[in-house]
Chain A
Amino acid sequence: DAGVIQSPRHEVTEMGQEVTLRCKPISGHNSLFWYRQTMMRGLELLIYFNNNVPIDDSGMPEDRFSAKMPNASFSTLKIQPSEPRDSAVYFCASSRTSGGPRGDQYFGPGTRLLVL
């Protein structure tokens, strides 16, 4: 199994630029989660999808953040415009809601974002 794939692994951009983070969940997993991790705030759930439908986006910090899941094998998290306070590690995770243990989330390696 390939595991959860995220790209890019590192991103350095300037304030005001658009940033797009990508995630490919594990095949057969029907839930997908986006997290943000910082030293100050720890691990925060931004949004999660079940069967490609956003279920809870209450963690999305503001309108500058948007997430999509056009199909079962791909999701994006977009920040437009980016700000220095968005600098963090962004993780994607996937899990099953049926046909297997629930709650076992599999995390990708993360995208380390630095906004200058």
Chain B
Amino acid sequence: GDSVTQMEGPVTLSEEAFLTINCTYTATGYPSLFWYVQYPGEGLQLLLKATKADDKGSNKGFEATYRKETTSFHLEKGSVQVSDSAVYFCALQTGANNLFFGTGTRLTVIP
């Protein structure tokens, strides 16, 4: 079945460090891929997405490239800030309208 596997956390980084959160997927067909972010006490928000192979999604300094050959959609940011501290969820969507979410990766950025 369709599924997403993402890097287990928690991840703790110093401000201005480089961030990578790994995400790989298993899917039939050609899924769309998403990263959602959840700030403390809030619901999830769409951070970025890519709908086909080799597409790059980007937002707020975060990027992820849809790699069909490695079935991956790793999230990266060149220089994290304290305000990026949150839980990050990788997700995929195939034919139906629902999303399959990963387990989430908690990021803490310290000053």
CA of A33 to CA of B45 in the docked complex: distance in angstroms? 14
Q: Which of A99-114 contact B (CB under 8 A)?
A: 101-110
B66 at the interface (CB under 8 A from A): no
Residues of chain A with a CB closer than 8 A to B69's CB: none
| Contact, CB under 8 Å: A104 / B98 | no
Nearest-Cβ distance from residue B44 to partner chain A, whole angstroms? 5
A-contact 0/1 string along B28-50, CB 8 Å cutoff? 00001010100000111110010
| Contact, CB under 8 Å: A48 / B97 | yes
Residues of chain B with a CB closer than 8 A to A104's CB: 46, 49
Q: Which of A40-99 contact B (CB under 8 A)?
A: 42-43, 45, 48, 50, 55-56, 91, 93, 95, 97
| Contact, CB under 8 Å: B42 / A103 | no
B5 at the interface (CB under 8 A from A): no
The one of A102, A107, A108, A109 that contacts B93, using a Cβ cutoff of 8 Å: A102
B interface residue count range (under 10 / 10 to 19 / 20 to 34 / 35 or more): 10 to 19
B89 at the interface (CB under 8 A from A): yes
| Contact, CB under 8 Å: B98 / A33 | yes
| Contact, CB under 8 Å: B43 / A42 | no
CA of A110 to CA of B44 in the docked complex: distance in angstroms? 10
The one of A43, A95, A108 that contacts B101, using a Cβ cutoff of 8 Å: A43
Given contacts A42-B104, A43-B89, A43-B104, is CB(A103)–CB(B43) below 8 Å?
Answer: no
| Contact, CB under 8 Å: A50 / B97 | yes
Name, among A33, A43, A56, A97, the residue most crowded by chain B CB atoms within 10 Å (CB to CB). Answer: A43
Residues of chain B with a CB closer than 8 A to A106's CB: 46
Closest to A89 in B: B43
Residues of chain A with a CB closer than 8 A to B104's CB: 42-43
Nearest-Cβ distance from residue B67 to partner chain A, whole angstroms? 19
Residues of A with Cβ closer than 8 Å to B?
A: 4, 31, 33, 42-43, 45, 48, 50, 55-56, 91, 93, 95, 97, 101-110
Residues of B with Cβ closer than 8 Å to A?
A: 32, 34, 36, 42-46, 49, 89, 93, 96-99, 101, 103-104
